[in-house]
Every structure is written in C-alpha cells, then in structure tokens.
Chains A and B, each alone.
Chain A
Amino acid sequence: MEPVAIVGWAQTRHAAARPDANYMELAFEVVEALHARLGTGPRDVDTMISASSDFHDGRTISNMSIQDAIGAPLKSESKVSMDGAFALSYGWARVASGAFDTCLVIAHAKLSEGDQAAIGNAAWDPITLRPLGFHEKAALGLQARRWLDAHRLPETTLARAAAASYARAATNPNALRRDQPDADAVGRSAPVADPLTALEIAADADGACCLLLASRERARRFPGPKAWLRGVGMCYDAHSPGARDLADSMALRRATAEAYRRAGVTDPRAQIGPVETVDRSSCQTLHWAESLGLCDPGRSLEFLEQSEGARYNASGGALAAWPGFAAGLVRVVEAAERLAASDRPLALAHGANGALGQAHCVWILGKD
C-alpha cells in the first residue's frame, strides 16, 4: 500500500450541544485550527473529502454548505456519506493515485439539532423493521443481550466496561463524559434498551474533526509529528439484524484481516500500541476488542481492566463522545496522537457504519 502521511489534525471539544455554532462553523473551527497548527492555508490543500450525514445535518447535499468553510471553491471536493474512517480511505486513494499531493479529510456532526430516535429509525428497512419503531438504541440493546448470552456473562460486565472507558475519558479534554462514573453509577443510570442503561450507550455529541494527508514527497515539508497510513480494511455485512450473528461480526473480522494483511500485522497484541474504536455501546467496546484479535473471546473485560488494555480506547472511545460521522476520524486522530509515545510500532483506528456495525473500516497507522 502506497504510504501516505497524516501530517496534522484538529478536533473540537465534543459537547452535548454547541448552540454557539452551526455545523458549518464547527467545520471551519477545525480547519482553521489545523492550518494554524501547521502554518498552512487553503492554498496548501489540493483536494478534500468530507464525511457528513444529510439526515444529521437536516440538509440534502449537506457538504454544499461547508464548501466555503473548508476552502473548496474551484477545487475538487467529494463527500463520503459514512463514518469518517471510510472517508479517510477515499482521501488516501486520491493521494495514493498520484493525482493530488495533499488532501484534507473532514467530518462533522451536530446531533443536538436532530431527533436521533427518528433519524435512527429511518436507517432501517422501511418495510419490515421501521414500522416496529426499531431504532439504533433498541438495536444496540438486542446486540448486547445476544453478546452477553453468547459468552454467558452477567449484565454487570457492561457497567464495568463503561466505567473503564470513563476512567480513561477523564484525562481527555475533548471527551464529553468526563465525570468518571463508576460501575455502580453506570448500572444505576436510566434503563434505555434492555440490558443497556443510558451510560452504557455512547454519548451523542456535537463536534468535528479533520486531518491533512500528504504524499510521501510532500510529507517531508511538514516537520511536526506524523503518522503513516500502512493498511486499511473495509467490509459490509447483511442489513437485517436477524440475518447475522450479533455476537460475532463477520464484517469486522474480515476488515481486520484485510488491514493486518496490508500492514504486515501478524501478531496484533505485540505489534499494535494505541487502539481506538467506534463503540456505540459498552458491549461494542468489548466485542470489537475481541474481533480485532486483541484478546481471547469472552475475555475482553479482563483485557480492558488490566494494564495491557490501557492502550485500548485511551481517549474513552466513542462511548465518551459520539459526534456522528466524525467519530471514526476522531479515532484516527486519537490513535495518531498517541502513537509517537507508544513502545510499539503501530496503532489501530476503527470506524463503523450503522448502529450495529453493518460496515466496518480498520486502519493501521505506522510511526514516522
């Protein structure tokens, strides 16, 4: 895989609501911060890929409204309408093809402005699932129940996993849930979708994130810390939750295998340091760690709570702030930021599309 470097990045402090800024302003906030950090400007960006949801933005062609904010006029922009980790694959391809030397990848979401239950309902098959009132949190509940049953684990597993994530989030200034609830407090939070409580489901957030990609040649001009894109894998699963095993993600296993193959990862537990996943529930925090091969099946809570697991979702993960499609790009940035200080050569960032992870994207980042 052609090496392309992440030469700079920026993200907002993800908040439950940002009434002071519309989503164009959120996008502008991170682009401005990126350029300030790198000493660059719009003229240094050859092309841009954005990730946003027309439903979350309440606008069709919603990338139209951020064209000025991201410096796109008379340049080549395109929009990946998925989690930002997938958008990164298109940004990488544009640079790796040799057509462009730099690419801005940007994602935003302002979930506080939408009715997320209604929007989530609209993501399901309108003939068989939508009329049931099925929405994303209901789906997350079904998945958590199936996963607990498959591993014969108690419900307290979910509260302990969430508490471990919140302990990490306390040191991340960009996370939304930073008040460190313990497992008891998590378990006592409002029941939402059996067996999940409110604090076992990711916190909807307003936020944005961006990064700048540069070709091998162009990357030399950027003296600051970099991370190199070494491998990617993507995979889709079936739509209906009834058509897949919610305790065993074929799509994540395949995406992981592809990314590991491209990056030459043969022993992920030894080679990979920082790992960041888009976990929409504390069940997914655990489930994804297993699918990535970081721990044995059914042993992910132990992994998370031990020192070996400290490198996993050190930011608190998406559980501590889920700014919609920006979540996957935030994971990439968090992994890149922690890679330099890691004692291992690689980092992993994960993104997913659809509440249950119908599609997954796995990135392997390498040190400069």
Chain B
Amino acid sequence: MGKRVAVVGTGQTHHRSKRPDVSIPELVREAVDRALENAHADLGAVDAIVIGNMEHFEGIHLSDLWPAEEAGLWGKPGFKVATGGTTGSSLAIAAYYTVASGLYDRVLAVGWEKLSESAGETTTGIVTAFDPIYERPTLAGAVSGLAVMATAYQYRHSIPPGQAALATVYARANAMRNPHAHLRKPVTVEDVLASPMLSTPIRLLDMCPTSDGACAVLFASEEAVGRFPGPPAWISGVHSCHNHTYLGDLCGDTPVFLDTLTTAAKEAYRQAGIADPRNQIDVVEIYGPCSWACLEWAESLGFCGLGEGGKFFASGAPAFEGDIPWSPSGGVISTNPIGATGLIRVAEAAIQVRGEGGDRQVPGVRTALATGFGGSYWSEVMILAREK
C-alpha cells in the first residue's frame, strides 16, 4: 500500500470580489508564501507542485505557465489539474496520490481564480461546459443546474424555503469569524427570502458569490512530516466520484440527486473506519454552492435521514455551536474563487484538525471532512484526522 500522507501547512488570500491591486501571479504568490510560513518552511522544502485553475474564466490558455515562478514551480516538477468546481479538491487529491505513491515526499497544491477578470461574468465561462445543442439553451450555467436539483429535492420532500435559507444564515454568521472570508455580513432568513429570485427556487442570497482568491496546501509523507513543526492533519479517507455527461441522465428516479457524493462518502468512510459519520466526524467543510445543496448533501453524507435535510438545518445541528458544525469558515456561500474553492475546504478542515482556527476554531476537533463539487454533478471527499 501507499505511504500515509498529512497536511503540514496551509495558506490562503483574504478573498474579495475584486483584487485590482495584484496580478494573477501575485495573487498565487500570496497564498504560497502563507502556506510556507504556516509550515515553517521555504520553497526548498517542496519537492513538487500540483497547480490548478479554470482557463475559461480569466481567458488564459495553459494557465499554469504564466504564474509558474510565483507558484514555486521554477526548476521543479509538477502538473496542472483542472476539473471545474472540483479543481481545488482534485488538486488536494492529486497531491495526496502523488505523495502516497512515493514519487515525491513533499507536494504543494496551489489553486486560484480571479473571477473579477472573467469576460462579462462567471456564467459566461460556465455555460460552455454544457452541450451546445442539447443542454446549453436550457440548463447551462451554475444556477440553473442547481435549480433543477433544488426543485427536484423540494418536490420530493416538501421542504419549506425557510429551512434552506438557514444554510445561508449559518454560513454568513460563520464568515464573521473568518478573516479570509469574502462576504462578511450576517443575514436573516427574512433577508434570504426577500432577495431576488435567480432561478426557482434559488434566490440571490441562497447562492455562492464569485471571488478573487488563491489557496495553497502542503502535503507530506509520513517520513517527511517530522521536518515540519506544526501538528500534522493525517489524511484517512479519499475518494472522488464522477458521473454522466448529460444532466438529463442524472434526473432519473434516484433517491438522492447527488449519488456521486453518497458513493464518494461511502468509500472515504470505509477507508477512515467511519461507521457513524454524525458522531465520528467533528466538523465539516462542505462545497455547498447554494443553500439547497447543503440540505440535500447532509443526507448524502449520512448526517440525517432521507428527506430530513431541512429538519437537520432547522435543528441547529450544523450551526457553529451545534453538534456537527457546517463550514465554520463560512463555506462556499461566503467565498468562492472557483479553482481554489475545493482546496480551501481541505485547508479549512486541516486548520480545524491542527487547532489553528482562531475565532472559527471548533473545540476538540479530532476528525474533519472536506468535500468538493463540480462538473456534471461529481463529488470528492477527503477526511482528515489528528491521529495517524
């Protein structure tokens, strides 16, 4: 079997809607410097770099090449991963396998997006993911596909919109604790329900923003962990699960819309020896792009029964003080630099395990779960633990 792998350093920018003060390479460098500082290391302690971003947003082809030096790639091995929304979690997973395989002992994962430089708006890039003939005219974009999912979910289980709004309320309250979060302004259920409708049933405040930001996470093998002074966050479960090309193929009569998350979580739980996720996991950092997704995915992850996602959020369990704090960073509903978003989930989970969360630290975290979401409704899961 492969080597055991741990996170030994994390760094991220202070995410904003616009960072006109920096270029893309400078934005990347900010996150890399902070990760190295957190790991008490310099670039000499990095053997290889896995880098990622989505080219269509900034309109830069081969987007690993321009910021290569700022990412630390000069003279070093590395490769670029790009999988849409999951890019950040895919980077973490690629870094994990690269270390576990024994190829390199210390691998830095670097992801970024500067969505303020998107031509027009972010959706201009996202629409091209969809088949130009069959799905682009009706389903293309980030909001419309999620709206289909939320509509199906709401219809099956008769979820009142006020319960979904709670996911935003908790997220924004948590963002107040996180100096790196983009949208740091608390909102109420009434605010969410009064915000403009984007695509039924998703309103403006149900949906994630678009951000400028970068994130870097340093992974080390069990042999190399000792060189870094901070407590390691050991990776105990990893899986990703992809799905059909066409969204229409995903709308069948399945009990949950996102069966990729159910599948990925089941495999990651098996690897980590988790039989009772609600009690064995202390905190989660979920790639929930909209409030409605958070409700359904609580079910996919096994935190509550089928159709109980609304009640789960209404119970207060996912609040900061609840028994399973949900994205104490403020999550994706508060911050979303797409190519970094999934990596921020892994970084934040590691921060919780390493006890570095400051105001957003959940007490006594031993096990944390991070997810990624993107593409044609595919999911990625990484579980991090204090014990090896």
**B129, CB-defined interface residue at 8 Å:** yes
For chain A, the count of residues having a C-beta within 8 Å of the partner chain is 66
Contacts A60-B55, A64-B129 given: A82-B64 contact, CB under 8 Å? Answer: yes
Q: Which of A234-242, A289-297, A342-350 is the interface stretch?
A: A234-242
What is the interface residue range for chain B against chain A?
Answer: 35 or more
- Residues of chain B with a CB closer than 8 A to A359's CB: 64-65, 68, 73, 78
CB contact between B75 and one of A120, A239, A250 (< 8 Å): that residue? A250
Partner of A90, one of B55, B74, B79: B79
**Contact bitstring A249-263, B, C-beta under 8 A = 1, else 0:** 011001100100000
- Residues on A with beta carbons closer than 8 Å to the beta carbon of B126: 60
B378 contact set on A, CB distance < 8 A: 77
Cβ of B280 within 8 Å of any chain A Cβ, yes or no, is: no
Could you say which residues of chain B place their CB within 8 Å of the CB of A72? Answer: 242-243
Q: Check: A232 CB closer than 8 A to any chain B CB.
A: yes
Measured CB to CB, the nearest residue on chain A to B48 is: A234
Residues of A within 8 A of B82 (CB): 54, 61, 79, 81
Segment with Cβ contacts to A, from B94-102, B212-220, B302-310: B94-102
CA distance A146 to B94 in the complex (A): 37
Q: How far is the CA of A233 from the CA of B66 in the complex (A)?
A: 21
- Residue A341 lies at the interface, judged by CB distance under 8 Å to chain B: no
Residues of B within 8 A of A238 (CB): 68-69, 74
Chain B residues 24-71 with CB under 8 Å of chain A are 48, 52, 54-57, 59-62, 64-69
What are the interface flags for B78-103 relative to A under an 8 Å C-beta threshold, 1 for contact and 0 otherwise?
A: 11111110000010011001101111
- Give the contacting residue for A97; candidates B57, B65, B97; CB below 8 A: B97
Asked whether A65 lies within 8 Å of B245 as measured between CB atoms, the reply is: yes
Q: Is A99 in contact with B100, judged by CB distance below 8 angstroms?
A: yes
Chain A interface, >50% SS class: mixed
Alpha-carbon separation in the docked complex, A250 to B120 (Å): 39
Cα distance, A59 to B259, chains bound together (Å): 25
Q: Give bound CA distance, A81 to B94, whole Å.
A: 13
Determine how close the nearest CB of chain B comes to the CB of A100; give it in whole angstroms.
Answer: 9
| Chain B residues with a Cβ under 8 A of chain A | 1-2, 23, 48, 52, 54-57, 59-62, 64-69, 73-84, 90, 93-94, 97-98, 100-103, 125-126, 128-129, 131, 238-246, 249, 259-260, 263, 374-376, 378
Closest 5 CB pairs of A and B: A61-B84, A97-B2, A234-B77, A96-B101, A97-B100
28 contacts between A and B (CB under 8 A): A53-B55, A53-B62, A54-B55, A54-B82, A63-B375, A74-B243, A74-B260, A76-B242, A77-B240, A78-B240, A87-B79, A90-B97, A93-B94, A93-B97, A94-B97, A96-B2, A96-B101, A98-B100, A120-B61, A123-B62, A126-B66, A235-B75, A235-B76, A239-B69, A251-B75, A254-B75, A358-B68, A359-B65
Interface residues of A (CB under 8 A from B): 1-2, 24, 53-55, 58-69, 72-82, 86-87, 89-90, 92-94, 96-99, 119-120, 122-127, 232-239, 250-251, 254-255, 258, 353-354, 358-359, 361
